[in-house]
Amino acid sequence: MSILETIHGPRDLDALSEKELVQLAGEIRGFLVANVSKTGGHLGPNLGVVESTIAIHRVFDSPHDAIVFDTGHQSYVHKLLTGRQDFSMLRQRGGLAGYPQRSESVHDIVESSHASSSLSWADGISRAFAMTGQNDRHVVAMVGDGALTGGMTWEALNNISDDNTRRLIIVVNDNGRSYAPTIGGMARFLNTVRTRTGYRNLYLSSRRAFDKLGGPGQSLYRGVRGGLHGFLSRFSNNEALYSNLDIKYIGPVHGHDIEAMEEALRQAKNYGAPVIVHAITQKGRGYEPALRDDADQFHSVGQIDPETGETISNSSKPSWTGVFADEILSLAEHNPRLVGITAAMLRPTGLHKFAERFPDRVHDVGIAEQHAVTSAAGLAFGGLHPVVAIYATFINRAFDQVLMDVALHKAGVTFVLDRAGVTGPDGPSHHGIWDLAILQVVPNIRLAAPRDGTRFREELAEAVAVDDAPTVLRFPKGSVGPDIDAVRRTVDGVDILRESERKDVLIVTVGPMAELGLKVADRLAAQGIGATVVDPRWVVPVPASVLSLAADHRIVVTIEDGIRVGGIGTRVRQDLREAGIDTAVDELGLPDEFIDHATREQILEGAGLTPQKIARDLVAQVLGSRIPIARPLPADELSERHLEA
């Protein structure tokens, strides 16, 4: 039996020797590579936090002591040490979540995987412990160095430093990366610490000196190790980073030395006030294919060959992100006013090619979406046209800036939202299902949802040509399907994908839901019900031709992969009423719930977004047995249908 198999909870770590702990760390790395290669997931970050997570659980008593991860993708080791060792269905329905999840374990606290929030959580939890007399409980926040680029982190540090009586430990997991190398002044400072010759030479020479003394010398070294770290911090001027915050600093500590980490954490635990422990780690540690990956050191992988790290993929189709990467570069080559902005996701959002070709025209602001959006407003004021590329789930964090800094000032800024709609295995915090409902309340905003690659290129070009209002282009995760050609295009740009002589049902589809709409129309036709399928292309504002078509049909159904509440269907229904058109509208989309991890297909089926379910309901609505009921046929048309029958 391996040591890992004997670990059913954190206290099982207590009896292990130093040698056994090192062996356990190796077993954990082997487990992660073998299992994550089968399911996909965040491999590189977890390989980098093995020893530090072991040390945290050795020194602190979870769940009595609260452990918070920022971000949650570095919690796989934590799951293993808290009794969750079945990774066979990681990020699949019924299996372990890819992030902490309270329903899985009492050891999990913060489920959201949006970066830079952990210190605010830790601030609140530690205040609560202090205010309720729970003075024997500690709070530990493990913060990736990339999370320190987010404004919330510094807001929290400002408040934490104002009250230095709480038992709060901040572990800075400093691997020099968020996805790709971390950027900004903070990152440059930490990089000098990691690479400073004085620190490295002094640390190594001091250890060698104690090692020469044998067992007694090594014991003495372990005893003075904490003091040595404090001396080295002063020697290397590293405390200057946090001196104005009035928070005790310990480090830098070798994050892959369990004993060193334990010693630093015990000092922090006994200090009785907020402490920062600076751990220097290596993303992808112990797995050569990850270390060789310059892009993101296997930050997140699909299924891979565990021996080589090569991707195992059955799809040769281009991805939506790839289409954007090529198209934005093409547009930038012809339009010098275009600039790109991303929030620590240069490659994941597809801006890397633009950056490689025009390095001075692409700006990575770190995990700081709010800053990215307001900075974009400033760039627009200066005569440029910024393209802000982020995941759809993260636009939620910058809503105020979209509203008050971009829209209010009529700034020409284009937002490109990757991973819109259902993302699947990443779970509740990463589904991009709120963007349509949130953003459409912004005055004068224009929202586009392309159904295929050709329409994507068209709509991106149209978006960056708008200089007096925000524009948004959203697309899903995964591969781009085949082009769906229109029967015709209206004068205001709406694509008619299918027309029937009988004007029974108008199906309004949003983006890639066009394929679903066409399948529904086929099923309705088999029942003798005529359907028109349209793709508005620009879903907000609602095009006038959509309203005109709705007036000619008996019922309208809208299909979107965003939440129904306040979605595009709601907007269509409101505009119809304002225009005095009484055609009933059935608004189909996702429920206003936090949807657990599963495949996209499973989630859509659970929401009733299948051809069978939609067609069955529409038949009932046309027949008048289900609400909303379709408008009755005119008497002359009803007579004609009886004659045909």
Question: Is 473 buried (19+), middle (13-18) or exposed (0-12) by CB count in 10 A?
Answer: buried
Closest CA to 324 of 390, 411, 372: 390
Strand order of the sheet with strand 248-254?
Answer: 66-70, 139-144, 168-174, 275-280, 248-254
CA–CA separation, 398 and 374 (whole Å): 9
Residue pointed to by tokens 């195992």: 312
Structure token pair of residue 539: 């879903």
Whether the link from the prior residue into 628 is cis, omega within 30° of 0, is yes
Q: Is 641 a catalytic residue?
A: no
Within 13 Å and on the Cβ side, how many CA atoms surround 466?
23
Q: Torsions phi, psi of 36, nearest 5? A: -70, -25
Structure token pair of residue 594: 């936090």
- Selected catalytic residue, list 137, 166, 167, 283: 283
3-state DSSP assignment of residue 490: coil
Q: Kindly state the helix (H) or strand (E) to which residue 227 belongs, with its residue range.
A: helix 214-235
Q: Is 194 a catalytic residue?
A: no
177 secondary structure, DSSP code: B
Give the rounded distance of the alpha carbon of 48 from its chain centre: 20
Q: What residues contact 580, with CB distance under 8 A and at least 6 apart? A: none
What is the four-CA torsion angle of 88, 428, 79, 40, rounded to 10 degrees? 40
Distances (CA, A) of 323 to 350, 353, 631: 8, 11, 42
- Strand 275-280 and strand 168-174: the pairing is parallel
3-state DSSP assignment of residue 172: strand
CA–CA separation, 232 and 252 (whole Å): 8
Q: Is 307 a catalytic residue?
A: no
Closest CA to 180 of 36, 348, 430, 9: 348
- Selected catalytic residue, list 51, 327, 369, 587: 369
Q: Which residues does residue 471 pair with via DSSP β-bridges, in sequence order?
A: 414, 446
Helix spans in 285-391 (H): 288-292, 320-334, 352-357, 369-381
Question: Is 270 buried (19+), middle (13-18) or exposed (0-12) by CB count in 10 A?
Answer: exposed
Closest CA to 145 of 119, 185, 115, 176: 176
Closest CA to 119 of 6, 5, 347, 274: 274
- Selected catalytic residue, list 137, 166, 207, 397: 397
CA–CA separation, 449 and 436 (whole Å): 10
What amino acid positions are annotated as catalytic residues?
Answer: 283, 369, 397
